[in-house]
Chain A
Amino acid sequence: MKKRLYGSLALTLAAAMALSACGNNGNNGADASAGASSKSPSSSKATKLVFWTFNELHQKFFESMADSWNKANPGEQIKLEATTFPYDDAHNKLLVSLQSGKGGPDLADIEISKIGNYLKGDPQLVPLNDIVEPEESNLVMSRLNNYAKDGKYYGIDYHVGAQVIYYNKEILDQAGVNPDNIVTWDDYEQAGKQVLEKTGKPMTTVETGDQWTFWPMVVQHGSDFLDKEGNVTLNSAANVEALTYLQKLVKEKVAVLAPGGIHHAEEYYGFMNKGGAASVWMPMWYMGRFTDYMPDLKGKIIIKPMPVFKQGEMRSSGMGGTGTVITKQSKNQDLAKKFLAYAKISKEGNIQIWKQLGFDPIRSDVWTDPAMQEPNKYTDYFGKDIFTFLSGLKSEIAPTNIGERTPAVSDAVKTKAMFQALSDLKDPKQVLDDAAASIK
């Protein structure tokens, strides 16, 4: 009897192993979930495209683009099946399905700090050069380069994410500071001392738990966390200089640590809303936080270019971003590519990105389009000239180096470097050296 029991156990085990030995990665096996009906594009039946994202607004955007696509292309109907998953886990889920070769979507959003993970090994994503290269002259190419490896473009971003600084005009007026006079970081420090003296408020807040304070500074100073080859340059001399400056501001109380540690904490919004600081530097996409979470500041915030360390340095950079990719598991790669180009590379798509999402789109020829001045909640809050202002910065948007180590270096900045330098007030060079050493 026992033999029978063990025998059937062994059989079950063997069966389980055999069934699950599907070790092939990265080709379109019999896909259980997407179940896309691979009809040829010329048939009038709709082709299903599965799209995974982590932001409901992106989902709505793509759904509206699918609708307008269908109206414009009756012969190539798309049935978009979009799902919003929680942020971290959307990436987790995508990774798992790409690693196992099955169960993945046609299109997916990948945030810029995570794309490094997907480029390791053989990227399981479809190269998009054929839809990108024809429009190169109209696109801010640095945004495409963030999602590229070995000359192949893999993701199309939603926005440029131009780095700017948001001034609270009310506080500056009280202190008698004119923001247009702030050109260099030395000017900024002086203005900050004046604001502190006259109003008792800090000039700015700095993040200890995220990278948005430090990253744009170093990128615009001609440096970055990684170099073009993807090597870690976190502790370069330029970076140490920037961090030392930040630490000085904190010690002088011109800058305070952001309550809640990051500029996206519930505590922080409350603090700023009550006029907690005179300015904060964040990318353009932070506008939505002002309109949604800091309503009392409506009409009081002006957007200006960042100060620089030296005259001639770029006054902006492309920060953050989310790229939409097409996975190799898609059975409708051509249709997906055409749709993606329509949604995010075409003029119409880019105008919609501004109108629906409030992002600065990656097509620079769109910025001068009158459609960008039409009233919406952002123009109500910040004024009509947002894109006139941005056009002026067009040639000063410094590119960033994104590579396979970006997730790791990003992590070191967020969990160690910022806090040690700005809260513990340790020696900036030591802090950055330690952080750089901890990255493999």
Chain B
Amino acid sequence: MRSNWLYSQRIAPYVFVLPFVLSLAVFFLYPMVSTLLMSFQEVLPGQTHFVGWSNYKSMADDASFYAALWNSTRYTFWTLLVLIPVPLVLAVLLNSARMKWSSLFRSALFVPTLTSVVVAGIVFRLVFGSLDDSVMNQFRHLLGFQTINWMGHSATGMVVLVVLATWRFAGINIVYFLSALQTIPGELYESAEIDGANTWHKFKSITLPLLKPVAIYVITISIYGGYSMFTESFMLWNGNRSPNDIGLTMIGLLYRNGVEQNNLGLGSAIGVALLGTTMILNLIALQFFGLFKKEE
């Protein structure tokens, strides 16, 4: 055993986290600072100059900002509601000893995640088309309802987005939960059964608590993922042009101003606002789950 300080218990953690520290310093600090700076500037070739808080002011004055914030919040809310409990339960079911052909079903549920979002957008656009012969409208006729313009209204538009998200991401959340389920030793369940616990009890007292770390992970990335959703909406409405901005998200707004209208200062301000929002939400959630408590 070497007594080299590099191998000591005190130093080892720093070595382990070094790759991230380096990456952060080299690749992210400059861009982060630069973006923060740009949010206070009007950025044009040869004419970049400071404009104080005016980017933030125009962001706050823009009705689209509130539309985007509202859309992103709603979307995050619904995807959290659907995409955490459902995959969790499905993962537990798939893992259960009574399940047959697990790997087949797993693969089937994962296929949507693999599909390119470009093409998924086209398919969903057609499935939820506004004409009588679109798949979903045919389904409505079966149930005795009229044709509707799915993509034309806020509520149904959100339904389409959430269905698209569920279709795409259920599989991957199942993968996360499945992997975590592997760390729960079978003996725990066996001894619980001996003590007379039924399925629900086992789930509540063993599975859920032990899944907690990974569940926290899934919740956190879902909050962040919900707020930064962009491509799905972009593909669904064939551009950043949903009627009345019903499909506009925060990143969509950033893209529209920063890129489509070459207003990088405003885009940066929106980015900073978005980052601030998700960061605060996530920190609150993590504090709530006790991630920063001293571990026992």
Q: Are A415 and B30 in contact (CB under 8 A)?
A: no
Q: Are A415 and B245 in contact (CB under 8 A)?
A: yes
Closest B residue to A439 using CB positions: B261
Most buried by A among B30, B152, B237, B260: B260
> How long is the Cα–Cα vector from A240 to B14 in the complex, in angstroms?
67
Q: Are A9 and B25 in contact (CB under 8 A)?
A: yes
Given contacts A117-B262, A210-B241, A419-B244, contact A9 B21 (CB under 8 A): yes
Of A31-39, A217-225, A262-270, A341-349, the stretch lying at the interface with chain B is A262-270
Instruction: Report if B62 contacts A (CB, 8 A).
Output: yes
Of B42-50, B216-224, B285-293, the stretch lying at the interface with chain A is B42-50
Most buried by A among B5, B63, B125, B261: B261
> How long is the Cα–Cα vector from A434 to B264 in the complex, in angstroms?
24
With a CB–CB cut-off of 8 A, which chain B residues contact A266? 122, 125-126
With a CB–CB cut-off of 8 A, which chain B residues contact A238? none
Partner of B26 from the list A16, A26, A95 (CB cut-off 8 Å) is A16
Partner of A260 from the list B129, B259, B264 (CB cut-off 8 Å) is B129
Instruction: Report if B1 contacts A (CB, 8 A).
Output: no
Partner of B262 from the list A88, A95, A122, A264 (CB cut-off 8 Å) is A95
Q: Are A98 and B45 in contact (CB under 8 A)?
A: yes
With a CB–CB cut-off of 8 A, which chain B residues contact A261? 151-152, 237-238, 241, 243
Instruction: Report if A121 contacts B (CB, 8 A).
Output: yes
Q: Are A265 and B131 in contact (CB under 8 A)?
A: no
Instruction: Report if A408 contacts B (CB, 8 A).
Output: yes
Instruction: Report if B194 contacts A (CB, 8 A).
Output: no
Q: Are A12 and B26 in contact (CB under 8 A)?
A: yes
Given contacts A1-B11, A438-B62, contact A122 B244 (CB under 8 A): no
Closest A residue to B242 using CB positions: A415
Given contacts A261-B238, A414-B241, contact A92 B46 (CB under 8 A): no
Q: Are A99 and B264 in contact (CB under 8 A)?
A: yes
Instruction: Report if A259 contacts B (CB, 8 A).
Output: yes
With a CB–CB cut-off of 8 A, which chain B residues contact A267? 125-126, 129-131, 134
> How long is the Cα–Cα vector from A424 to B261 in the complex, in angstroms?
27
Q: Are B261 and A407 in contact (CB under 8 A)?
A: yes
With a CB–CB cut-off of 8 A, which chain B residues contact A26? 45-46
Instruction: Report if A411 contacts B (CB, 8 A).
Output: yes
Instruction: Report if B99 contacts A (CB, 8 A).
Output: no
| Contact bitstring A382-421, B, C-beta under 8 A = 1, else 0 | 0000000000000000000000000110010011100110
CB distance from B254 to the nearest CB of A (A): 12
Q: Are A122 and B25 in contact (CB under 8 A)?
A: no
Question: Taking chain A's interface residues, is the majority helix, strand, or loop, or is none over half, making it mixed?
Answer: helix
With a CB–CB cut-off of 8 A, which chain A residues contact B58? 440
Given contacts A13-B25, A25-B46, A408-B261, contact A271 B243 (CB under 8 A): no
> How long is the Cα–Cα vector from A25 to B259 in the complex, in angstroms?
18
Given contacts A26-B46, A121-B44, A440-B58, contact A423 B259 (CB under 8 A): no
Q: Give the size category of A's interface with B.
A: 35 or more
Instruction: Report if A5 contacts B (CB, 8 A).
Output: yes
With a CB–CB cut-off of 8 A, which chain B residues contact A208? 243
> How long is the Cα–Cα vector from A123 to B47 in the complex, in angstroms?
11
With a CB–CB cut-off of 8 A, which chain B residues contact A415? 240-245, 248
With a CB–CB cut-off of 8 A, which chain A residues contact B261? 117, 407-408, 411
Given contacts A16-B29, A266-B122, A267-B129, contact A420 B46 (CB under 8 A): no
Q: Are B260 and A407 in contact (CB under 8 A)?
A: yes
| Contact bitstring B14-32, A, C-beta under 8 A = 1, else 0 | 1000000110011001100
Instruction: Report if A205 contacts B (CB, 8 A).
Output: no
CB distance from B190 to the nearest CB of A (A): 48
> How long is the Cα–Cα vector from A114 to B239 in the complex, in angstroms?
14
> How long is the Cα–Cα vector from A379 to B239 in the complex, in angstroms?
33
Partner of B131 from the list A88, A120, A259 (CB cut-off 8 Å) is A259
CB distance from B193 to the nearest CB of A (A): 51
Q: Are B238 and A122 in contact (CB under 8 A)?
A: no
> How long is the Cα–Cα vector from A438 to B261 in the complex, in angstroms?
14
Most buried by A among B243, B245, B256: B243
Q: Are A12 and B25 in contact (CB under 8 A)?
A: yes
Instruction: Report if A30 contacts B (CB, 8 A).
Output: no
With a CB–CB cut-off of 8 A, which chain A residues contact B11? 1
With a CB–CB cut-off of 8 A, which chain B residues contact A88? 239, 259-260
Interface residues of A (CB under 8 A from B): 1, 5, 9, 12-13, 16-17, 20, 25-26, 88, 91-92, 95, 98-99, 101, 114, 116-118, 120-124, 208-210, 259-262, 264-267, 271, 407-408, 411, 414-416, 419-420, 423-424, 438, 440
Extra 9 A-B pairs, beta carbons < 8 Å, given A122-B47, A411-B240, A411-B241:
A91-B259, A99-B43, A99-B264, A121-B45, A123-B45, A209-B238, A209-B241, A265-B125, A267-B129
> What are the 6 tightest A-B residue pairs by CB atom distance, in nearest-first order?
A121-B44, A117-B262, A122-B46, A419-B243, A121-B47, A25-B45
Could you pull out 13 A-B pairs where Cβ atoms are within 8 angstroms? A12-B25, A16-B26, A88-B260, A118-B262, A122-B47, A259-B130, A260-B238, A261-B151, A265-B238, A267-B126, A407-B261, A411-B261, A416-B244
